[in-house]
Copies of this chain bind each other. A is one copy, B any other.
Amino acid sequence: MQKIIQHSDLSKPVYDRLKQMIEEGELSPGQKLVQEKLAQDLGVSRTPLLKALQKLQHEMMVESIPRRGMYVKKVSLQEMIDVYDCREAIESIAVRLTIERSSDTDLEKFKKVFEPFVNASKINTTRYRKADENFHDMIIELADNPVLKKMSEVSNIYKRVYQYGLIRPPEETMVEHMNIIHAIVERDIPAAEKELRNHISLSRAKLIEYQKEKSTKS
């Protein structure tokens, strides 16, 4: 029996594809998205394309200037810092809810995420990046709060922080991740919150550092 994938909503695969294209730089920041052309490229009409673009606009991946057009959002260093402020807020609550609401077996899953890197001599940054994303997504998911989930979708742009490369080397963040995970598994809410806030604010501090470098250089 063949599994028939029904797309009751064409905008969904279009959305997924566009998101991928933006994340992978196939569509570059600032680029204008000409609707008719893009729709043709993706093999759909403008209607489902527009629906997908509106979702991306909501997630701050694209920008719309009325009567002008839609553009791939340029993410400035300042906005990246803004995202990190939000993530600290969102994820520190999320980790609390996660611990409160999850089973031991669910919490154990966190250990698995960074396992491939614990004894690795050389860490593959792409894989590590994915694990990092996965880790943060898990916290949001297990928090089991639909409003929080929606909010975190807004800061999806954070996934584009890597346009600046990894902010800090895995060797540095790995320890922090392990500390957070330890606190989660031990169900130590204050410790988990503290470690997570620390982790995020160290990255934010690094971004602020870059920002200062940039401004003094020019």
A66 CB within 8 Å of chain B: yes
Decide if A148 touches B82 in the complex (CB within 8 Å): yes
A89 contacts which of B51, B60, B89 (Cβ < 8 Å)?
B89
A36 CB within 8 Å of chain B: no
Q: Which secondary structure dominates chain A's binding surface?
A: helix
For the complex formed, measure the closest distance between the CB of A113 and the CB atoms of chain B, giving whole angstroms.
23
Determine how many copies of this chain the complex contains: 2
Decide if B151 touches A67 in the complex (CB within 8 Å): no
* Chain B residues within 8 Å of A89, by CB: 89-90, 92-93, 148
Decide if B93 touches A150 in the complex (CB within 8 Å): no
A55 contacts which of B58, B82, B86, B148 (Cβ < 8 Å)?
B58
A79 CB within 8 Å of chain B: yes
C-alpha gap A51/B61 in the complex (Å): 17
Decide if B85 touches A148 in the complex (CB within 8 Å): yes
A86 contacts which of B54, B66, B148, B157 (Cβ < 8 Å)?
B148
C-alpha gap A161/B143 in the complex (Å): 22
A9 CB within 8 Å of chain B: yes
